[in-house]
Structure 1
C-alpha cells in the first residue's frame, strides 16, 4: 500500500504587530513581500509545492485573511488547497486539531508550518523532513530544532536526548525550555545539543489527536465537535462557531508537546528566521556600503546601519543619522510613519497598544 502524502498545514493566524506600520491586523506580515518579491505566505507554500510526497496544503486563518490566502494560492496555481476559517483565535493547539480532522484524522502525516517565517535553504528543511518521517509514520510527534546562530533570548529551546531508534538523525526530546535569560542561553549553546524551537512539526493526524485527547480532553472534544458541525463553501471550511469557541486557548507546546512522551526532534539549519522584528529584517536584507537596507523611494546621506522603507507614493530622506528604523506605509486611512532606534525595535508593541487602531 502506498504511504499517504504529507499534507502541509499553514498556520496563518498571526497579527505581526512588531512589524507595524506595514504589518496591520487587516494585512499582517505573512501577506507582505518583506524579504522577496513574494509574500511570506507564498514563500511558505513554495517550500513543498511540487515536491514529491506532498499533497495540496491546508491553510488555517481567520475570516479577515481568507481573501489574502486565496490570492496567494491562486497566484501559485494551487487549485486543490483548502482553507479552514477559524471563528476566533484559540492559539496553535486547537488550530492544528482542526487541520488534523480536515486531513482525515487517520495516518496521514501533517507538516505544520507558521506562514511568516523565512528559510533561505529549503532543501535542508526537506532533508530534515525526510529524516523524521520514519519516526512519524511509526507514531511519534516530530519537532524541528533550528541550529542556533547565537544565544537568542527571544526563542524557546529544545534539548535533545538520546538518538531515536525510529529515525536516523533524530533524537528524543529531553526537555523544552522557555525563552531564557541571556546567561542561560549562553550556557545552553556552550553545552551543545540545544536548538531553537521554531514551532514547526511533523506528525500523523491521528497521533496528534490522540495526544491532544490525552493531555487536553476539553480542547480535543471542542475541536472534534466544531469539525463535525462544519460547513464547506467551495474550498473553505467553516467549523461550527459555538463548538469551537468552547475550546480552551493554548499553544501546541504547552497543550501537547511538553506532555507527550513520544516526541522526537530533527535538527536542521535551513537559514531560518521568524522575522520577529525590523531588526531581524535588517539582518536579512541586502545592505549598501554603509550598512543601510533601503527599499522604495529612499535617499540616504551620511546615514549608517539603518533600515529605511517607503511604500508607493512616499519619499524618505535621511541625513546624519545612524542605526535607525524608518518605515513609511501609505494606506487607505493615510500614511503611518515609524522612527525608532534600531535597539528599541522590540518596543514597537507599545506604539501599537497606544494607537489601538493599528
Structure 2
C-alpha cells in the first residue's frame, strides 16, 4: 500500500459484518453467514470488502478500518483481516444485534473521540463490487458533498425492475456524470408494476446501503432526529471494555437502543441528503439467482462449482461444497442445487428469494442445519464432526499455527487424539510431549489436557470421544488465551 503524504485526505472505512444470510442457505447460516464463505472464487466477500476499502488514489486515502460485528464472528474477522495484511483500527463487538442505526452511530462516536473532523465510509461486508477503481471514483465524487455537511448515500443505476431492493428517489434525473444529486425520498421494496414504473422514469436508484459522511454530522443528525438512540449508544461506547484487542460495547445501555435501520432513524428524516449514482456492476448477492448470474454461466446458462457435473441442463446452478461429494444434474432447467455434507438445497431458480422459508421450516422442526454450519469455527481454528453416535463422536480438528485449545477437562468422556498433519504439543496432566504425524495420545476422563500447534503450518488431528455424554458443554476451562469463560 502506498504511503500517504501528510496532506492526503483520509476516509475511515466502517465495515458492517453481522447478519445471518439466510437467503443463501445452506452455504450461509447464522453461525457462519455469507460474507465469510467463498461464494465467488477462492476469497470471501468480507475479505474483498476489506481489500476494496483500503489503499489510496489522487483524492483520498483509506485509514485503517473499523469493523462492527458480534462476539461469535470476532475471531473469524481478525483471521480474515490478517490474511489481507490489514490491521484494523478497532473491531467493535455488539452485545446483541440492534440493526444499522446503533451500529453506525457507535462507530461514529468511537471515531469522533479520536478525530473530530473524521469522515467515514460505511459499507456492508457482503456485497460484490468488481470494479474497485469505479467504486473509488464514486466515493471521490461524493466526498465534496460529505465535507460540506451532507449525508451521502450511494444508489445503483437499475438494470431491471427489481423487487428485492429498496430504492432511492433522486430529486432530478442523474445526468450520467456520477456527480451527487439531491435525494428526495427512500422507497420500500416495490411490487413488479411499481418497479417497472420507477425504472422508466430514470429518477430511481437501488439503495446500496453504503453511506459517506463526517462523523460529527451524523451525530448531529441523531441529536436532532433520534436523541434516545444517541443517549443509549453514547453510554455503550463510553463504558466499552477492551477484550483481547476487541472493544466490547457495554451491554446494558446497548440493549436500550432502539432496534432500527439508519434509513428509518435518520436518513428519511434528514434534509441534508445527497445520492451518488453508481453505474458499474454491483450486487448484494441476495439469493442463489444472483450467485448464478455472477458465476459466469456458460452458453447454456449453466454454472458449476466444486465437484459438479451438468448434463443437458439449462439456466442452472450446481454446487458441491464438500470434498468427495459429487453432484450431477441431468436434464435440469432453471434449477439451483447446492449440496453440503449435512444438507442439500434443490430449488426453482425463480423461487430463490424464498429460501428463508426453508430455514424457517427447519427451525420449526428443530433441525440443527437451520443455523449451525457443519464446520464449527473457533478462535484457534475449526472442527467438524465426522461421525456421531449415542456414546461416541469422531471429529476432524484443525489448529492454526501458533494457536492453542484451552487447558480443560471433561466429566463424561475420554478422548483419543491422532495427529494426521503437522506437529502437536500435547499436555495431559503433568506430561507434555510433541506428537508428529501418525502419533497418538489417550486423554482419560477428568484429565486436564490441552492441544497446541507450535509449528508454522496448520495442524490437523482426529479426535475420538467416548463416554456417556459427548456434548460441547461438557467442558471445564482452567486457562484460555482467548478469554472464553
Q: TM-score, normalised by structure 1?
A: 0.94
Q: What's 1:21 paired with?
A: 26
How far does residue 113 in structure 1 lie from its aligned partner after superposition?
0.3
* 1:121 to 2:131 alignment: yes
Q: What's 2:348 paired with?
A: 341
Partners of 1:175 and 1:301 lie apart in 2 by: 48
Partners of 1:329 and 1:236 lie apart in 2 by: 33
Equivalences for residues 201-350 of structure 1 within 5 A: 201-313=211-323, 314-330=325-341, 335-350=342-357
Whether the aligned pair in 1 keeps the contact of 2:334 and 2:349 (CA below 8 Å) is yes
Deviations 1:300-350 (A, max 9, x none): 2122211111113211112122111110123xxxx2111111111112111
Whether the aligned pair in 2 keeps the contact of 1:324 and 1:340 (CA below 8 Å) is yes
Deviations 1:7-43 (A, max 9, x none): 1000011110000000011110000111231100001
Deviations 1:148-202 (A, max 9, x none): 11111111111112599xx991111111111111121111111112111110000
Q: What's 2:12 paired with?
A: 7
Question: Which structure is richer in relative contact order (CA contacts within 8 A, separation 6 or more)?
Answer: 1
Q: What's 2:166 paired with?
A: 156
**What SS does the corresponding residue of 2:112 show, helix, strand or coil?**
coil
Q: What's 1:103 paired with?
A: 111
Whether the aligned pair in 2 keeps the contact of 1:125 and 1:269 (CA below 8 Å) is no
Partners of 1:316 and 1:18 lie apart in 2 by: 21
Partners of 2:291 and 2:64 lie apart in 1 by: 29
How far does residue 79 in structure 1 lie from its aligned partner after superposition?
2.0
Relative distance call for 1:234 and 1:161 in structure 2 (3 A) is same
**What SS does the corresponding residue of 1:83 show, helix, strand or coil?**
strand
Partners of 2:303 and 2:165 lie apart in 1 by: 25
Aligned residues: 352
Partners of 1:150 and 1:303 lie apart in 2 by: 25
Equivalences for residues 26-175 of structure 1 within 5 A: 26-52=31-57, 53-105=61-113, 106-161=116-171, 169-175=179-185
How far does residue 143 in structure 1 lie from its aligned partner after superposition?
0.2
Q: What's 2:475 paired with?
A: none
Partners of 1:80 and 1:276 lie apart in 2 by: 27
Partners of 2:131 and 2:8 lie apart in 1 by: 26
Unaligned runs of 5+ in 2: 1-5, 371-485
Partners of 2:349 and 2:208 lie apart in 1 by: 24
Pairwise CA RMSD of aligned residues? 1.8
Equivalences for residues 180-195 of structure 1 within 5 A: 180-195=190-205
Partners of 1:48 and 1:248 lie apart in 2 by: 29
Partners of 1:35 and 1:51 lie apart in 2 by: 25
Unaligned runs of 5+ in 1: none
Partners of 1:321 and 1:309 lie apart in 2 by: 14
Whether the aligned pair in 1 keeps the contact of 2:67 and 2:88 (CA below 8 Å) is no
How far does residue 80 in structure 1 lie from its aligned partner after superposition?
3.7
How far does residue 234 in structure 1 lie from its aligned partner after superposition?
4.1
Instruction: Return the index of the structure with the highest Cα Rg.
Output: 2
> Which protein is richer in strand relative to its size?
2
How far does residue 235 in structure 1 lie from its aligned partner after superposition?
3.0
**What SS does the corresponding residue of 1:259 show, helix, strand or coil?**
coil
Partners of 1:124 and 1:193 lie apart in 2 by: 21
Partners of 1:340 and 1:80 lie apart in 2 by: 39
Moved more, 226-235 or 269-278: 226-235
Whether the aligned pair in 1 keeps the contact of 2:309 and 2:329 (CA below 8 Å) is yes
Whether the aligned pair in 1 keeps the contact of 2:66 and 2:88 (CA below 8 Å) is no
Q: TM-score, normalised by structure 2?
A: 0.70
Q: What's 1:352 paired with?
A: 359
Whether the aligned pair in 2 keeps the contact of 1:49 and 1:56 (CA below 8 Å) is yes
**What SS does the corresponding residue of 1:256 show, helix, strand or coil?**
helix
Partners of 1:11 and 1:270 lie apart in 2 by: 22
Whether the aligned pair in 2 keeps the contact of 1:159 and 1:177 (CA below 8 Å) is yes
